[in-house]
Amino acid sequence: MTVVVTTSPGFGKHGKVPALIEEAGWEFIRCVDAAEVAANIGRADFLVVGLVPVTGETLQGADKLKAVIKHGVGVDNIDIPACTAKGLPVCNTPAANADAVAELAVGLMFSMARFIPQGHASVTSGGWERRIGSQLGGKTLGIVGLGNIGKRLAKLALGLGMQVVASDMYPDEAFAAANGIRFLSLEELLAQSDYVSLHVFGGKDNAALINRDSLGLMKPGAKLINLARGEVVDLDAVAESLASGHLGGVAIDAYVQEPPAINHPVFSHPNAVFTPHSGADTLEALENVGLMVIEDIKTLIGGGMPARCLNAKNI
């Protein structure tokens, strides 16, 4: 059996996953871009998807393919209707990397609050610039998208003594009530938060969710974290808001183009922190995701339908 894997470098390499794959005897073909996927899709029994888009064109010639499985949560880069039309189940791995992403969000808040990247750069360049930061305790964190990741982040933030508000299309009122979280409109959340952390899906519905107008609603000096998708944030607007001093800082992990074009002015601002779409990159999360992918492949091989299938009712 052949598994084609796109840009998910950690899949199959951590924890119990390698032994399970060896035991199963599966052949792996790792592809770094759409051209390599197209060249190998005809051999694939299963397609494990990272960040390379899966479109109707991708699926042309996929005569052996039995399912498309996302190595992660967000499926905005998978054309689910096109998969459904070919009778292909689409699965993902919800919550498998939620802790990893939430912990990075906290790390990025600390990085901005205490100027950690700037302090590192100062010391390693022979300087000794001590900057006065601020504590997270007592500050308000606004979480846009209170799903699995948002909920993990909320609990971490509450443990640090932060106040938490949230915005969500499908609010979990029971979770919010149990944890003292208030649901607000996006506009209200932006106006009240010292830190805003984005955890929504990408796609056209959330394109430029954070733009000039929404940035203008934020408190002067507030800080923004994007661990969602690149298109959720208008980078031009962010650069302008940083330059004016209205936005106090930004931390970005996801980009429209990856790697991004670093000639954009946002990348030269001293109050901006960047990571290479690594929110889910921990040993524990990669093992969790890998185990879920293997479980779903084995279920499908056995003639079953994984509980995590997103289009089971339509195929």
244 shares its domain with 103: yes
Which residues are marked as active site?
Answer: 229, 258, 277
Lateral strand order in the sheet of 249-252 = 182-183, 163-167, 140-144, 195-198, 223-226, 249-252, 272-274
| Same-domain status, 171 and 303 | no
Q: Which one-letter DSSP state was computed for residue 219?
A: P
Name residue 163's amino acid.
Q
pLDDT tens column, 100-127: 999 999 999 999 999 999 999 999 999 9
Domain count for the chain, please give it: 2
Q: What are the pLDDT digits (tens) for 83-97? A: 999 999 999 999 999
Residue pair 194/248 in contact by the 8 Å Cβ criterion: no
- Same domain as 92, residue 142: no
Half-sphere exposure of 76 (CA within 13 A, CB side): 15
Q: What tokens appear for 186 in the block?
A: 């996006």
Instruction: Verify that 132 and 145 share a domain, yes or no.
Output: yes
Which CATH number characterizes residue 240's domain? Answer: 3.40.50.720
> 91 with 108, same domain?
no
Domain that holds residue 252: 98-274
**Does position 9 have pLDDT exceeding 90, yes or no?**
no
Q: Are 300 and 233 within one domain?
A: no
Do 92 and 232 have their domain in common? Answer: no
CA-CA-CA-CA dihedral for 44, 47, 51, 54, to nearest 10 = 80
Q: Are residues 211 and 166 in the same domain?
A: yes
Q: Would you say residue 314 has pLDDT above 80?
A: yes
Count of H helices and E strands in the chain? 11, 12
Residues 46 and 166 in one domain: no
Claim to verify: residue 267 and residue 287 sit in the same structural domain: no
End-to-end CA distance of the chain: 22
Q: Are residues 121 and 254 in the same domain?
A: yes
Residue type (1 letter), 241: S
- What's the pTM? 0.92
> Does 236 lie in the same domain as 113?
yes
